[in-house]
Structure 1
Amino acid sequence: MIHYITGGERSGKSFYAQQLAEKLSNTPFYLATARIWDEDFEKRVVRHKNDRDERWTTIEEEKEIAKVIPNKSVIVIDCVTLWLTNLYIDFDNNVEKSLAFAKNEIDQLAQINSEIIIISNEIGMGVHAQSHLARKFTELQGWVNQYIAKKSDKAIFMVSGLPLILK
């Protein structure tokens, strides 16, 4: 089953996803997709780690997320935006290659016998991106979000810490 949780920055997505995972399992997994880009981001990662207690097992994977998900588990994938950033950079800012790779991974996720909680950002709801690369990334993010939402069994939009049920 795929649970899709989306929303803006600091909307409560991660907290909601963690609570859901803890309701579904006493031993949830956390799949971290981020690369540590700078000191500020490293502090954010440490804060997220500290939000999880000893029940959690962390898995780190930057690209091939479907291959590391244990069968019959509960896992939070945090997050699609950082995962797509890795793809976008590794595929030399090629939207088509990034999108094809992402869709293939999502298709694989849909075949896994686990409770998969996917966190993503709605980055296209804010200010219009100023650069060509940023606009293309925003398009990529939007297309991938739509694909995940379509494949998901449940979808939640987080606003100000409150969940809005979409599906």
Structure 2
Amino acid sequence: MTYFLSGGSKSGKSMLAQKIAKALPAPHYYLATLRPTDAEDRAIVARHLQERDGWGFTTLECECGILSALELAPENGTFLLDSVTALLANEMFRPDGSVDRTAGDRLANDLVRFSQLAQSVVFVADFVFSDGRDYGALTEDYRSALGHIGVKLAQACGNVAELSASIPIWYKGGWQP
């Protein structure tokens, strides 16, 4: 089973993703993609750890090279990747300050391949396209790459939803608790 969930900040996408992932076959892996760089990032990590406490997820740190997560997992199972947004940022904006403008295409292909190899996977991404503001070329390249990845995941996944106020709007497939 494959799921792609997208939504704005605090839309409920992470919690729904956890519920869906736990309903899928064990073992359950949480792919931690956020590279914390400031207090806000550390707060997000702490909140997600608290929300997952007692759920039985094994956390695998995977800031780059998503296909390597399949090797890190002791056995195939259900993978919760939260978030595609952070993973793209890590792939595109390198710690040495360089920018990989090809990261979006490569990551889109890797995520589709991951969805084919994993027993089950739930992808979570942020919806960052509705404010109508011009951010400059580099940020627009990032947003464009994230949009491209979203299209590829929506095509590849059997279940696709956008969340707002913790309410999923299913565009493809669905899920019932």
TM-score of the superposition, structure 2-length normalised?
0.86
- Aligned partner letter, 2:79: I
Verify the 8 A CA contact 2:34 2:41 in the aligned structure 1: no
| 2-structure distance, mates of 1:43, 1:113 | 29
Tell me the alpha carbon deviations over residues 29-52 of structure 1, each in whole angstroms, 9 at most, x when there is no partner.
100111011012101101100111
Report whether the alignment pairs 1:134 with 2:135: no
Opposite residue 92 of structure 1, the aligned amino acid is S
Whole-angstrom CA distance in 2 between matches of 1:6 and 1:52: 19
Which string of whole-angstrom CA distances, capped at 9 and with x for unpartnered residues, describes residues 73-118 of structure 1? 11100101100101111393343x1123212312321321411000
Q: Matches of 2:26 and 2:153 in 1, distance apart?
A: 26
Partner Cα distance (1:103, 1:5) in 2: 15
CA RMSD of aligned residues (A): 1.7
1:16 partnered with 2:16: yes
Corresponding residue for residue 105 of structure 1: 110
Contact 2:78/2:121 (<8 A) preserved: yes
1:111-126 aligned within 5 A: 111-126=116-131
Question: In structure 2, how many angstroms separate the alpha carbons of the residues matched to 1:121 and 1:113?
Answer: 22
Equivalent position of 1:89 in the other structure: 93
Q: CA deviation at 1:138?
A: 1.0
In the aligned structure 1, how far is the partner of 2:27 from the partner of 2:79?
A: 9
Alpha-carbon distance in structure 2 between the residues aligned to 1:107 and 1:24: 19
Q: Which runs of 4+ in 1 moved over 4 A?
A: none
Q: Which among 68, 80, 83 is matched to residue 84 of structure 2?
A: 80
Please state how far the C-alpha of 1:65 moved relative to its aligned partner. 1.1
Deviation at 1:25, TM superposition (A): 4.0
Using the TM superposition, give the Cα deviation of residue 26 of structure 1 relative to its aligned residue in structure 2, in angstroms: 5.5
CA distance in 2: counterparts of 1:63 and 1:37, whole angstroms: 15
2:157 maps to 152
Structure 1 unaligned residues grouped into runs of 5+: none
Number of residues paired by the alignment?
A: 166
Cα 1:157–1:15 shift into 2, 3 Å: same
Once the two structures are TM-superposed, the CA of residue 27 in structure 1 deviates from its matched residue by 4.2
Q: Percent identity?
A: 23
